[in-house]
Structure 1
Amino acid sequence: MKKGTLGIILAVVILFAGFYYFAQASLNTKAEESGKKITRETNTKQKLGKQPKKKTASKKVTVKPKAVKKDDSIEMKITIKNNTKKDVTIEHSSGQVFDIQLLDANKNLLYTWSADKSFIQMLSTTEIKAGKSLSYKEVLSGEVYENIKDKVVYMKVYLTGTADFINADGYIVKVK
């Protein structure tokens, strides 16, 4: 590899690292200015050895997947409902905000929605206002659907971000 090419690659890596550092610093500053806690506490115990009750949005923010098979397609939908009195935020490390998998009767993978897609690499957030819902809908049709339509039994969805209500194991539903 030529010295000039190596120099350009090194410069790009340094610029990217700098951008990432300043983006993180900006997010932390915004969180501090809004009074949000940036660190998480773990293994906290109250006096008398009791574990504190965790008050999070997890019991009040619902994630509901729904999949409906048709003759020539399958409609896949994810609805996030914020039943709390406060806005909730999902933090993303890329432009991808969800993923969908279609599974057979034994829960073997047949299809992954994101497999043929590219996503921008940037920090972003999705905000859901108090009492509001957010839905994502995708339709699979054509040859890919034709090849798996008789085998699809379950749909599993993932929210690709961080928030206290997100189940990292995903959400599974039987296809109707």
Structure 2
Amino acid sequence: MEELQDKVSQVLLTLNAPDLISVCQRLKCSEPTGGFESKSRRALNRLVEKTLDDIEEDEDNKLFLQYLEDLLSFVNSLNQPNPGVTKTVQNEPNELDILKEKYSKLQQEQSEARQSLEGEIAAVEQRLRASVLGQETRATTMSPPMLPEVTLRKEFQICGQIGEAGQREKLLHQPYEPN
């Protein structure tokens, strides 16, 4: 009996919330305030386990085993997909497949755009190198014109006296007057 209870518990853990709500309704669990929909999967699992414990205490072992087997078959029927629904889903394109296809197209377009831009960049770099090399060769071949050397000279003359009046060594100069 414990093996069957463990199996039921394991199967209950795999169910999603709507299926757990169906199990709660089948077991006639006491509905919490806010309804079953307001509860999490974990809370619904605890509610089912508590109800099963209450049934085990109230019922005979044979009757409880039969109850568990019925519950297990009910849960297994919830897990099996409806064949009519499966056919429809298989024929219609899956949203995930559509998104994957869009993603792969975008990746391909991005790759092509990147290759195109890389080609343009390489062409511009070649043109720039060629023009820089051309300018360098012109600059080295064309020497600047020779400018004549210009020397500017100016004569300065000192007028006056350098040194103290009573100093023995002093410079005294009279203004220069050209003839």
Q: TM-score range by the shorter chain?
A: under 0.3
Structure of greater relative contact order (alpha carbons < 8 Å, 6+ residues apart): 1
Higher fraction of helix = 2
What's the TM-score once normalised by structure 2's chain length? 0.23
What's the TM-score once normalised by structure 1's chain length? 0.23
